[in-house]
Amino acid sequence: MNNIVEIKNLTKIYYDKIALDNLNLKIKKGKVVGILGPNGSGKTTLIKILTGLLRPTSGEVLIDQQKIGVYTKSIISYLPDRNYLYKWMKIEDACRLFKDFYADFDANRFAELLDFMQLKENMKIDTLSKGMHEKLNLALALARKAKLYILDEPIAGVDPVARDQILDAIINNYNENSSMLITTHLVSEMENILDEVVFLKEGRLVSKGNAEQLREEKGKQIVEIYKEIFAQ
């Protein structure tokens, strides 16, 4: 099969709120795919289901042809949208934690990413700025040899310099044998690294396609298409 993710009739309901509404979606292997939409569109709910952090109300999800479980969790490297490391840690402690926890964690690759991000192993977690936190968390995620990388809002709330470094790290360290999902509402900053885009609105799929083809067909940048869709 050529798909890393296959979603059929996926629905997630929180009490009386429908977060995902009968979603059908296939994501090809080897692609960088943007999951785009404003806050409340279902992006975070979708990736929490993919990572096994939430169970769907109904529907089917396959990752690398397998149902969500031990195997799928082992091949996904997930970057959440908030810091999850203990404040007492140093960066070197985070490295040891990931080495112990993930068999596919590459310490040498992590060291290279730290150097690129201008971070040092002896830095304490509680002294890092938000941008430095984002760069560290991304370095940890990209240092794994995963089949699927899921990055939730990787540049939200960081300064322009940190954004550029984070985007460069994603571009330079992306493995073409892997796939990557990126959720974001900062479309203009991210669109040049996306192969394909998926637009979610109120838990429903409203549009999807190859990013370059959409630009050619519409004669517009992805951010302009985004504004058209969500202004309605």
State percent of the chain over pLDDT 70.
99
Which residue, 58, 52, 64, is CA-closest to 6? 64
CA distances from residue 169 to 84, 88, 94, 198 in whole angstroms, order as listed: 20, 26, 19, 23
Q: Determine the pLDDT at residue 203.
A: 93
Residue 22 has pLDDT above 90, yes or no: yes
Integer Cα distance of 93 and 45 in angstroms:
30
Q: How many Cβ atoms from other residues are within 10 Å of residue 218's Cβ?
A: 13
Over residues 14-35, mean pLDDT: 92
pLDDT band per the 50, 70, 90 thresholds, residue 47: very high
pTM equals 0.92
Sign of CA pseudo-dihedral 99, 141, 11, 28: negative
Q: What is the pLDDT of residues 185-221, one digit of tens each?
A: 788 888 889 999 999 999 999 999 999 999 999 999 9
Q: What is the pLDDT of residues 153-189, one digit of tens each?
A: 887 777 777 778 888 888 877 777 889 999 987 888 8
Please give the mean pLDDT across all residues of the chain.
90
Q: What is the pLDDT of residues 49-58, one digit of tens each?
A: 999 999 999 9
Which ranges of the chain would DSSP assign to H, the alpha helix?
A: 43-50, 70-75, 91-101, 107-117, 130-142, 160-173, 187-190, 211-218, 222-231
Q: Determine the pLDDT at residue 141.
A: 92
Q: What is the pLDDT of residues 81-114, one digit of tens each?
A: 777 888 899 999 999 999 999 999 999 999 999 9
